[in-house]
Each structure stands twice: as C-alpha cells, then as structure tokens.
C-alpha cells in the first residue's frame, strides 16, 4: 500500500474478495459443502438462493507496503467473532443466543480478518465469551472460556510474524479478571502499550515499526477505568465508532454509537464502521455485504472527516450477494 490514496483498494482487498481469485470456479454454482474447488467456500447467495463459490482471500500487509502509519490501513473485522452458528456451549447447554459468524477465530484470521469483536463476562469463576443480556452470562448464552480464543490469537501471531491484530472487548468483567487471562494466554508479549497510543488524534507508529518491535496486538475495551488501572485502553479515547444494528445501516447516514465521540472528531485517529443488522441473519447479509456495504464505506468516509474506516465490522464475513460483486 504505497500511498494513502490507495486506501479504497485496501478496503476492497481486505473484504472477502472473491473477484481477486484466478480460479475459474469462483462464481460458479455449488451446493453446501460441495462443488467448489480447493480453497473456495460455498455461499448461499446466488440467484434464487443457490450457492455460489466464493473465496475469502488472506492479505498480508507486507505485500502492499508497511511504511505508513497504522491509521492509514483498513482491516476486515468480525462482529461477535466468537458467536459461531451451530457451535455448542462449552457448558454443555444448548445456546439460544444469536450467532454472527460461521467459522472459528483461527479460520477467520487465516482468511484475512484482522479485527475481532469479543464480549467478555465473569462466569463460572473464569472469563467467558458470551452473547448475553443484562450484563450477565448464562449457560444458554455462554460460548466458551475467553482463554481458548486468546490462545488461538496467540498461536496465529506466533506463526505469522507480520500480522497485526486488533481486539475490541465489550467488557462486563470486574477489575482484575482480564489481566489474569491475558497473562495466561501468552498474549502479553505482543501487547501494544497504551503509553505509545497517540493522544489527540495524532498518527500511529508506522506499521513496519509495530511489526519489527513485535507490538502486534491492539486491545481496546469498553470500560474507561481499566485504562489507568490495568493498562487496557479505553476504546473511545482512540477510536470513533459508527452506530451498530439497523440504525447504523440507513443509506446516506453514518451516526456515531452512543458511547463514541462524533464520527468527524479528530481527537481520535482510528475509525470503526459497523455494518450489520440488529438481528443477525445469514441470508440477509447476502445483500448487505455487497453494494450497500460499499456505499456505506463512502458515506462514512465523507462523514468521518474524509477518513476511510480503519475497521469494517460485519456479520457472516464470508457471505456476499454474488461472488463477482465489485466489493
């Protein structure tokens, strides 16, 4: 990525882009679990609900240059990365919570995802990932202990020394819970320290410097007090974030979520764009993750002080209307 002017290209490359594949089977009809070539995925988004072969293409930032500040890059991000369709709860109970993705965090990272949204709760004397309500986790909303996913991230970072990953935590844990899990997971060796995060909207370090210094894990959390007490950055000190759910998908608008500063605030140098419905639907995202997503990227760029989103958060990231859609 030799110049900031190529940022729209970065967005395209990091968003599920089957069009980049030279495989002749991309765009062909398929049936679930069969009919696609190696490395392809059958997405049920063709005409009349037919499956079409699609590819989620891993993108290594090194292939586009790493000489720009981190805030000049854009990254595919999965909403509720842990809430997998069909996944059983590690408690043994049936999960009734909505799901938002279809493959493991490891698979997401291998497919080019570099932003993960996780909801952390105190549960069963540990920190769990839950898609819950009322600030409490229950057997029927609990997916798995957070350390399982943290270790997936650690394994990926170890195996991919140029990868930089961002984790957004919707955090419901008490003081002291998260540091224990982060330390036990082995992730602290990659931690980007809050002291190095730019204040007042300044540029981030160059991506190549973050890689060379092995500070390749950014973690943001929703509890302000934990920045001072635990060194876990408060997200909205550094990030402006668009409204999630149906209210954030209105054409021509890009409102901030309630906790975030205004989208055009220049006191934060990172921009997170949410683009997913209030009630996740693997069929509905076929249309959403296509032309409407591209349109919203342009809208949010214009309404965020002419800044392209650094993070584009979606449900069912491997699904789009047609494998040949220009997104």
Within a domain: 319: no
Token couple for 251: 């054409």
What average pLDDT does the structure give for the chain?
A: 87
Within a domain: 325: no
Assess whether pLDDT exceeds 90 at residue 322.
no
Average pLDDT over residues 108-116: 95
- Helix (H, G, I), strand (E, B), or coil: what is residue 238? coil
Same domain, 43 and 138: no
Predicted confidence at residue 321, as pLDDT, reads 58
Average pLDDT over residues 141-152: 98
Higher-pLDDT residue of 187 and 32 is 187
Same domain, 34 and 90: no
Token couple for 220: 């943001």
In sign, the C-alpha dihedral spanning 286, 289, 295, 299 is: positive
Predicted confidence at residue 281, as pLDDT, reads 84
Average pLDDT over residues 216-222: 98
Predicted confidence at residue 59, as pLDDT, reads 56
Average pLDDT over residues 66-93: 95
Same domain, 49 and 177: no
Predicted confidence at residue 29, as pLDDT, reads 77
Element (DSSP H or E) covering residue 224: none
Same domain, 46 and 79: no
According to DSSP, residue 87 is labeled: P
Alpha-carbon gap, residue 303 to 256, rounded angstroms: 10
Alpha-carbon gap, residue 73 to 75, rounded angstroms: 7
Higher-pLDDT residue of 259 and 285 is 259
Same domain, 130 and 116: yes
Token couple for 6: 């190529």
Alpha-carbon gap, residue 132 to 150, rounded angstroms: 19
Within a domain: 259: yes
Alpha-carbon gap, residue 313 to 78, rounded angstroms: 5
Alpha-carbon gap, residue 327 to 324, rounded angstroms: 8
DSSP notation for 45-103: -SGGG-EEEE------GGGG-S-SBGGG--EEEETTTT-BTTPPPTTSSPP-S---BSS
pLDDT-derived band of residue 181, with 50, 70 and 90 as boundaries? very high
**Total domain count for the chain?**
2
Q: What percent of the chain has pLDDT over 70?
A: 83
Alpha-carbon gap, residue 238 to 275, rounded angstroms: 20
Same domain, 49 and 185: no
Residues in a beta bridge with 24: none
Higher-pLDDT residue of 119 and 19 is 119
How confident is the model over 2-43, as pLDDT tens digits? 333 334 334 433 443 433 333 435 667 777 656 677 667 777
Same domain, 186 and 272: yes
Domain that holds residue 34: 20-55
Token couple for 77: 């991000």
Alpha-carbon gap, residue 54 to 59, rounded angstroms: 16
Measured CA to CA in angstroms, residue 67 lies from 13, 63, 96, 207, 216 at distances of 18, 11, 45, 6, 15
Same domain, 30 and 177: no
Within a domain: 321: no
Predicted confidence at residue 33, as pLDDT, reads 57
Same domain, 26 and 145: no
Question: Chain centroid to CA 205: how far?
Answer: 21
Strands (E), 235-307: 239-241, 270-274
Average pLDDT over residues 285-305: 94
- Helix (H, G, I), strand (E, B), or coil: what is residue 228? helix
Assess whether pLDDT exceeds 60 at residue 219.
yes
């Amino acid at each position: 990525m030799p110049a900031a002017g190529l940022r729209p290209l970065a967005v395209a490359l990091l968003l599920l882009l089957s069009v980049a594949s030279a495989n002749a089977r991309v765009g062909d009809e398929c049936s679930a679990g069969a009919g696609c070539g190696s490395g392809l995925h059958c997405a049920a988004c063709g005409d009349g609900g037919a499956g079409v072969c699609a590819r989620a293409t891993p993108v290594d930032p090194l292939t586009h240059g790493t000489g720009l500040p981190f805030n000049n890059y854009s990254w595919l991000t999965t909403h509720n990365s842990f809430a997998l369709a069909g996944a059983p709860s590690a408690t043994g109970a049936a999960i009734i919570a909505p799901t938002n993705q279809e493959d493991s965090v490891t698979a997401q990272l291998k497919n080019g995802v570099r932003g993960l949204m996780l909801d952390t709760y105190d549960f069963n004397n540990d920190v769990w990932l839950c898609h819950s309500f009322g600030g409490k986790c229950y057997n029927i909303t609990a997916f798995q202990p957070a350390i399982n996913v943290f270790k997936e991230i650690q394994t990926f970072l170890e195996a991919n020394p140029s990868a930089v990953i961002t984790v957004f935590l919707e955090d419901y844990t008490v003081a002291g819970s998260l540091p224990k899990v982060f330390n036990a997971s082995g992730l602290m060796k990659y931690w980007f320290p809050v002291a190095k995060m730019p204040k007042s909207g300044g540029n981030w370090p160059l991506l190549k410097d973050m890689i060379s210094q092995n500070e390749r894990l950014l973690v943001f959390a929703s509890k302000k007090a934990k920045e001072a007490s635990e060194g876990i950055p408060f997200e909205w000190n550094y990030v402006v974030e668009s409204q999630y759910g149906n209210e954030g998908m209105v054409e021509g608008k890009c409102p901030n979520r309630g906790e975030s500063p205004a989208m055009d605030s220049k006191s934060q140098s990172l921009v997170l764009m949410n683009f997913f419905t209030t009630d996740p639907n693997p069929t509905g995202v076929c249309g959403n993750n296509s032309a409407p997503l591209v349109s919203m990227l342009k809208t949010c760029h214009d309404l965020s002080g002419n800044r392209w989103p650094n993070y584009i958060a979606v449900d069912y990231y491997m699904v789009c209307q047609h494998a040949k859609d220009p997104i």
